[in-house]
Structure 1
């Protein structure tokens, strides 16, 4: 699955990575380095985060369905 970010979102994320490296690591990360790092995160780390979100959503929805079944009316 290819994740295609909008140009302005990609720019915000690369700037954020550059700011992080500057503030937290006292390193300068150029535009190219930030783009490469962002691509790595999206392609290698992103799928794990995505799958975790899917699993959490699945758990949440199953709990709501169980709650819904508790609303059934008792038959006489």
Structure 2
């Protein structure tokens, strides 16, 4: 599954990449180089972040469901306690 980014999001990411190369490496990366670098990150590395996000979301949902289960159990009406017959 691929993540669909808007054109504005892609442009923002490409600007970040260009700024990084200029500030950290002193290199001016053109549009084609920026697009190629972004495509490589997207295709080769992006899946790790995507999958980590899914794991985090699953854990959060499981925690919330555990809380819901506890809340529902707290609402349970138990039968009155009766003395044992001997």
TM-score (ref. length: structure 2): 0.78
How far apart are 1:74 and its partner, in Å?
3.3
- Structure 1 moving runs of 4+ over 4 Å: none
Separation in structure 2 between the aligned mates of residue 16 and residue 41 of structure 1, nearest angstrom: 13
Of structures 1 and 2, the one scoring higher in RCO (CA 8 A, sep 6+) is 1
Aligned to 2:77: 75
Gaps of 5+ in 2: 79-86
TM-score (ref. length: structure 1): 0.87
Aligned to 2:55: 55
| Matched ranges for 1:26-37 at <5 A | 26-37=26-37
**Alpha carbon RMSD of aligned pairs, Å?**
1.4
Q: Which has the larger radius of gyration?
A: 2
Deviations 1:4-63 (A, max 9, x none): 432222222111100011011211111111100100111111111001000000000000
Gaps of 5+ in 1: none
Aligned length: 76
Asked whether 1:17 is paired with 2:7, we answer no
Separation in structure 2 between the aligned mates of residue 24 and residue 50 of structure 1, nearest angstrom: 26
